[in-house]
Amino acid sequence: MSEFSVRTALPRRHVLQVSEAEAGRIWAGLRNRIDGRDMNEASPDEIVSVAAGVPGLLPEGLLRSLHEFRSDPPESDVHLVRGLIPRETEFERTPASSTAPFGSPESQAAALLLLGVMGLVGEPFNFRTLYEGRIVQHVVPVSRMEHTQTGESSKGTLDWHVEDGFTADRCDHFGLLCVRGDTSAVTEFAGVRDLRLPDAAGAVLREPRFAMAPDTAHVLQTPRAAVTAVISGPAHAPEICYDAHYLTPSDPGDHEAAEALALLAGALDRVKAGHVLEQGDLLLLDNRRVVHARTSFDARYDGADRWLMRTMVCSSVPAYRRRAGRII
């Protein structure tokens, strides 16, 4: 059931190909679940409730691979599922903004599929301050945002980062479902488990000598940086909190911390892998163990630009319950 593609550098066991017949059955089941509903009118809890039935549509091999990815993947903290959307599926024009409504039954089905798969990894959620609190966001190029460090950029490279590193409530995992691809846009990723750093630099990065500021995608009245270590956790299961632009030494005079960040940036580049997302690809990343980036591409704003859907999940049930809501 697995198929390795030259367009990805992931280990073979972390790339799973869904057959065209399986995708057709999944898609037919999604249409039945929508059954005249308008997902744009549903609350986040209502949408997630409908999506909770989606795993019953998924093939057993996919269910097993997602369980392994969530529990303790042996080789990679990135998982790629291919072929989830039947080839003949036609979608509306690429949305012009991250918060645009879903414009067809097909895009509503894709959002439901994304939520259903990611619900096997954790509880979908979002921040009130991020893209209007949408439980599924469009990752699309937006006019006049070409060079920002957000998912709305295009001409500018989106550099190494974790999602929402300024808060302890950042997602544990997130998924990117490709509705429409662009052959020049490479999604890159690097895992903290693969890093090779000098012992001294690694020790510095484990100290809370750094400040992480919120990124500009969040609408905050009083943005505040959070003090953090960059690397944490036991040696056998390290975690990373990094952003090439928003993370700096807390003390501007801390040259040792600045040097450690420079060494880390080089180490990430040395171990990076990448994938060109195509329609039907779902890329799942561990936001505690992996940083990601994206190469530049040219947006035309003609309705045919690159279009991903994204949702984030909290993989700890106790942590999710303490939040007292899906939109925090």
What is the per-residue pLDDT for 56? Answer: 97
pLDDT, average across residues 53-82: 93
Q: Is the dihedral of CA 32, 35, 38, 39 positive or negative?
A: negative
Query: For the domain with range 12-155+174-184+276-323, which CATH number is right: 3.60.130.10, 3.20.20.30, 3.40.50.2000, 3.40.50.300?
Result: 3.60.130.10
What is the per-residue pLDDT for 36? Answer: 85
pLDDT, average across residues 80-94: 97
Structural element, H or E, at residue 270: helix 255-271
Structural element, H or E, at residue 278: none
What residues does each domain of the chain span?
A: 12-155+174-184+276-323
Strand partners, 173: 286, 313
Q: What phi-psi label fits residue 301: left (phi over 0), alpha (psi between -120 and 50 degrees) or beta?
A: left
Structural element, H or E, at residue 138: strand 137-139
Report yes or no: 35 and 93 within 8 Å, Cβ to Cβ: no
pLDDT, average across residues 63-81: 90
Beta strands in 181-301, from DSSP E residues, in sequence order? 187-191, 210-212, 226-228, 231-232, 239-240, 247-249, 273-275, 282-286, 290-294
Q: What is the mean pLDDT of the chain?
A: 95
What is the per-residue pLDDT for 232? Answer: 98
- 125-175, pLDDT tens digit by residue? 999 999 999 999 999 999 999 999 999 999 999 999 999 999 999 999 999
* The two three-digit tokens of residue 253, written as one number: 């005079």
* Whether pLDDT at 193 is above 90: yes
Distances (CA, A) of 177 to 39, 87, 308, 312: 17, 14, 5, 12
Dihedral pair phi/psi, residue 163, rounded to 5°: -75, 125
Strand partners, 313: 124, 173
pTM, 2 dp: 0.95
What is the per-residue pLDDT for 8? Answer: 53
State what percent of residues in the chain have pLDDT above 70.
96
CA 108 to chain centre: 19
Report yes or no: 308 and 140 within 8 Å, Cβ to Cβ: yes
Q: Is the dihedral of CA 249, 251, 255, 257 positive or negative?
A: negative
- 40-49, pLDDT tens digit by residue? 999 999 999 9
**C-alpha–C-alpha distance, residues 58 and 48, integer Å:** 16
- 106-129, pLDDT tens digit by residue? 999 999 999 999 999 999 999 999
What is the per-residue pLDDT for 76? Answer: 83
Cα–Cα nearest to 310, from 53, 138, 56: 138
- 216-245, pLDDT tens digit by residue? 999 999 999 999 999 999 999 999 999 999
**C-alpha–C-alpha distance, residues 128 and 133, integer Å:** 4
End-to-end CA distance of the chain: 38
- 259-281, pLDDT tens digit by residue? 999 999 999 999 999 999 999 99
* Whether pLDDT at 4 is above 50: no
* Whether pLDDT at 85 is above 60: yes
**C-alpha–C-alpha distance, residues 60 and 65, integer Å:** 9
- More confident call, 321 vs 74: 321
* Whether pLDDT at 191 is above 50: yes
**C-alpha–C-alpha distance, residues 11 and 156, integer Å:** 29
Task: Look up residue 296 and give its amino acid.
Answer: S
Task: Give the pLDDT band (50/70/90) at residue 73.
Answer: confident
Distances (CA, A) of 211 to 148, 166, 205, 322: 20, 8, 12, 25
Q: What phi-psi label fits residue 325: left (phi over 0), alpha (psi between -120 and 50 degrees) or beta?
A: left
**SS3 at position 309:** strand
- More confident call, 305 vs 36: 305
What is the per-residue pLDDT for 35? Answer: 85
* Whether pLDDT at 6 is above 80: no
Beta strands in 156-209, from DSSP E residues, in sequence order? 158-161, 173-180, 187-191
